[in-house]
Amino acid sequence: MADAMAIISAGDGANRRAIELQHLRKTYGPVVAVADVDLVIEDGEFFSLLGPSGSGKTTVLRMIAGFERPDSGTVLLGGRDVTSLAPYDRDVNTVFQDYALFPHMTVQENVEYGLRVKGVGRAGRRRRAAEMLDTVRLGEYGTRRPNQLSGGQRQRVALARALVNHPRVLLLDEPLGALDLKLREEMQIELRTIQRELGVTFVFVTHDQGEALSMSTRVAVFNAGRLEQIGTPQEIYDRPATAFVAGFVGASNLIDDEMSQRILGGPGRHVIRPERIRVLRRDADPVDHGDVVVSGSVSDVVYIGAECRVRVDVGERAPLLVGVPSAHLADLAVGSEVRLTWPREAAFALAGAAPADPDQSQHDEPQGRAT
């Protein structure tokens, strides 16, 4: 374990940038897969590239790894320009969704493979592979074959094989996509724990917002080949910069320009998360001074465990989505007349929107839409 912990004196301290992408662009015929992306990832980060299929996140990962050559732009690893270098000349390793383990080799032999290719002696290979298997909690599984392991165990073998060479950066291309929900959640904890213990820079590609938010120090949200926003999970969720981020990362209500003007007192689009909205079931329910209050009718109730998602029609255009504890489900039948309230600051402006006037009337009915 001591050697494994030494992996990750990532860099010499003079350059804390593990990865820097400068004006990166990649096209496939008429399709622009990545459009002028600038991105800096610091040493020791667990950094996620998040976005839907076709957003460009995997293409960015492949250009960092060297599997794809950018049409223009620069890839720097630890301050070194590696744009034209082959994958094996870059101080990175990649873990894929299908694990790519050799079925005829034991777990120990799989982990040793990269060391053998590099010419490390047998004793050194065995020692370092054993240490890395201990790190991923598989120290007793070295003699087994991959087909004797569970999906989560195979994933950890692939992780050990990628880390045993002491890369500066580990790239993970949707590595949990083939696992069932419970195992995927367990592996999220495992990956974060291992990354913290070793200190390696992890760059994690996913389309799953829950994975990105739960594991990452920072997240880059991609859409149509472009970067929409970079920030901590809390910044991405609490202050999405664009309507796309607000809709893709968690449920949200988008209040358009006209309705923002009417109920919030300022132009521009605003977003409010369902959990920030409170349902008032009686006229006597107290409302804090300055809070927004609107009236509506319950159009749908969806039970999802501890919480219900309630849709409330508040105008002609679209309903608002509200998060309500399931304990209150009996009071929210479809057709119920309710009032909704939220702190004025809970509805935040998207990029380019003007701030709302707090003195504007708070009782108009918004026509937002849930995204």
- Nearest-angstrom CA–CA distance, 73 and 318: 43
Residue 60 has which token pair?
């960015």
Residue 15 has which token pair?
């350059």
Angle between helices 181-198 and 151-163 (to 10 degrees): 20
- What is the predicted pLDDT for the residue at 72? 97
Angle between helices 122-135 and 151-163 (to 10 degrees): 130
Which residues pair with residue 229 across a beta bridge? Answer: 221
Per-position DSSP letters for 7-41, written without gaps between them: GG--S-SS--EEEEEEEEEEEETTEEEEEEEEEEE
Predicted TM-score (pTM) of the model is 0.83
**Boundaries of every domain in the chain:** 2-91+167-247, 251-370
- What is the predicted pLDDT for the residue at 348? 85
- Nearest-angstrom CA–CA distance, 249 and 247: 6
What are the pLDDT tens digits along the chain (371 aa)?
Answer: 444 444 444 444 446 899 999 999 999 999 999 999 999 999 999 999 999 999 999 999 999 999 999 999 999 999 999 999 999 899 999 998 777 889 999 999 999 998 888 888 989 999 999 999 998 888 899 999 999 998 888 888 999 999 998 899 999 998 887 778 888 888 888 889 989 988 999 999 999 999 999 999 999 999 999 999 999 999 999 889 898 999 899 888 888 777 777 777 777 888 899 999 988 876 667 777 778 888 888 999 988 888 889 999 887 666 889 988 887 776 788 888 888 899 988 888 887 544 444 343 333 333 333 33
Tallying the residues shown for the chain, one arrives at 371
Strand pairing report for 72-77 and 348-349: unpaired
- Nearest-angstrom CA–CA distance, 16 and 195: 17
Strand pairing report for 253-255 and 369-370: antiparallel
- What is the predicted pLDDT for the residue at 314? 83
State the CB neighbour count (10 A cutoff) for residue 256.
Answer: 17
Q: Of 3.30.230.10, 2.40.50.100, 3.30.505.10, 3.20.20.70, which CATH number belongs to 251-370? A: 2.40.50.100
- Nearest-angstrom CA–CA distance, 365 and 293: 8
- Nearest-angstrom CA–CA distance, 300 and 258: 25
- What is the predicted pLDDT for the residue at 5? 42
Strand pairing report for 319-325 and 307-313: antiparallel
* Angle value at C-alpha 78, between 65 and 64, nearest 5 degrees: 15
Say which residue the tokens 């937002």 belong to. Answer: 368
- What is the predicted pLDDT for the residue at 366? 31
Kindly report the CATH number that applies to the domain delimited by 2-91+167-247: 3.40.50.300
Fold match flag (2-91+167-247 vs 251-370) = no
- Nearest-angstrom CA–CA distance, 151 and 160: 14
Strand pairing report for 348-349 and 319-325: unpaired
Residues 253 and 322: beta-carbon distance below 8 Å: no
